[in-house]
Amino acid sequence: MDSKLLTIGQASKMVGVSIQTLRRWDDVGRLPSVRKPKGGHRHYRKEDVENYIKSNVKDLFRLAKSWITSDSGIEPRHDFYCSNSSVFQARLSKLENDLGRVKEISGIFPLIVAIAGEIGNNSFDHNLGNWPDIPGIFFAYDLKKKEVILADRGQGVLKTLKRIKPELANHQDALMVAFTEIISGRAPESRGNGLKFVREVVVNNEIRLFFQTGDARLKIQKDDSNLDIKKTLTNFRGCLARIKF
Amino acid sequence: MTIFLKKFGTTLTSRQFGKESFAAFEPSLREIKDAEKVEVDFEGVITFTPSWGDEFLSPLLERFDDRLILKNTSNLSVKATLKILEEVYQRKFKVE
């Protein structure tokens, strides 16, 4: 066999998705295979696979955005995919360990881990048993670019908050409530203060946050007293967040 | 009694984990005498969040009220978490 040709199994391991996913991607032209005349099994040029990986992990934020906006849900690459909260906890510990070694942020790294934890766990807490298609979250980070990316294809902030605030009319209002209003006591539900914590941490430290849900996006950075919330052209279910530090 | 949080782990995030931690420790709370203080020691904790904190500290506060005392809270994620929980509970923690 040509040494530069990979079997579908080898390609699947490299890209981090299942063989079934690769077949689907081949059918839609996302990552085309080559077929050998004899037998006709799918093979992949090593170069194609490497290029695919390179061009898709160069920009984690874009990768997460294309995952969350695609019409039909597919699981992300397995190293960016936390299918349940236990996987997320384990990867968050790894983030803690990796960030702990970065000198410039030695003082604040627990805060970065804490807000990533709150955003990711929010996704699980609010969608458990109700995931519309792909359960779990996209979670990746780039220490060189100093960013952490989280995304979920869940129900989004508006739908979640409407359960306790049925008067909410749009995604922008929902974002405002999620990041500003403290829900006191444990009724009607104990959840709901994680994003206020995220805001507090960001405005008091050298951290920037981008957060989008539905057709509303929010940006916060140090010393911001007001929330910058705008309507966006893109609209998706779920949440997409980028933490820059 | 002193509860050493690092015995639950150094990354204390998520409601689920907080709930499990409290449920696992709950039987030990029965040993606490009527007037005894309950200290929660944060020494060694690296990442602390409101979701874990709410599930673990809120039942302690409810049960022991003024007898609950927090120690070694200088980690920034501990400080930020306690601040938001104080707003949610509308009361201050006793910190040593």
The per-residue pLDDT for B40 is: 98
Asked if B51 and A114 come within 8 Å (Cβ–Cβ), the reply is no
Six token digits for residue A140: 């990746």
Give residue A236's identity as a one-letter amino acid code: F
Tally of structural domains, chain B: 1
The per-residue pLDDT for A190 is: 55
CA atoms of A175 and A119, how far apart (whole Å): 13
What count of other Cβ atoms lies within 10 Å of the Cβ of residue A2? 10
Q: What is the mean pLDDT of each run of 10 residues along chain A (245 residues)?
A: 77 81 92 82 88 78 87 82 95 96 92 98 93 96 94 96 91 95 61 88 97 98 94 95 97
* First vs last C-alpha separation in chain A: 47
Angle A184-A139-B13 from CA coordinates, rounded to 5°: 40
Residues of A with CB below 8 A from B11's CB?
A: 89, 92-93, 96, 113, 117
The per-residue pLDDT for B79 is: 97
The per-residue pLDDT for A184 is: 61
* First vs last C-alpha separation in chain B: 14
Q: Residue B41 belongs to what H/E stretch? A: strand B38-41
Strand B68-71 vs strand B94-95: parallel, antiparallel, or unpaired?
A: parallel
Considering only CB atoms, A110 lies closest to which of B14, B16, B46, namely B46
The per-residue pLDDT for A193 is: 86
Q: Residue holding tokens 């093979």?
A: A43
How deeply is A233 buried, as exposed, middle or buried, from its count of CB atoms within 10 A (0-12, 13-18, 19+)?
exposed
Assigned architecture for domain A5-56: Orthogonal Bundle (1.10)
Angle B77-B82-B88 from CA coordinates, rounded to 5°: 130
CATH code of A78-244, in short, is 3.30.565
Six token digits for residue A218: 């929010």
Considering only CB atoms, A117 lies closest to which of B14, B80, B87, namely B14
Cis upstream peptide for A32 (omega within 30°)? no
CA atoms of A124 and A84, how far apart (whole Å): 7
Six token digits for residue A136: 């779990």
Asked if B84 and A196 come within 8 Å (Cβ–Cβ), the reply is yes
Six token digits for residue A21: 């996913």
Six token digits for residue A234: 């893109």
Domain encompassing residue B10: 2-95
Six token digits for residue B53: 């904190």
Asked if B80 and A191 come within 8 Å (Cβ–Cβ), the reply is no
**pLDDT tens per residue across all 96 residues of chain B:** 999 999 999 999 999 999 999 999 999 999 999 999 999 999 999 999 999 999 999 999 999 999 999 999 999 999 999 999 999 899 999 999
Residues of B with CB below 8 A from A184's CB?
A: 87-90
Q: Are A175 and A218 in contact (CB under 8 A)?
A: yes
pLDDT one-digit tens code per residue, A127-145? 999 999 999 999 999 998 9
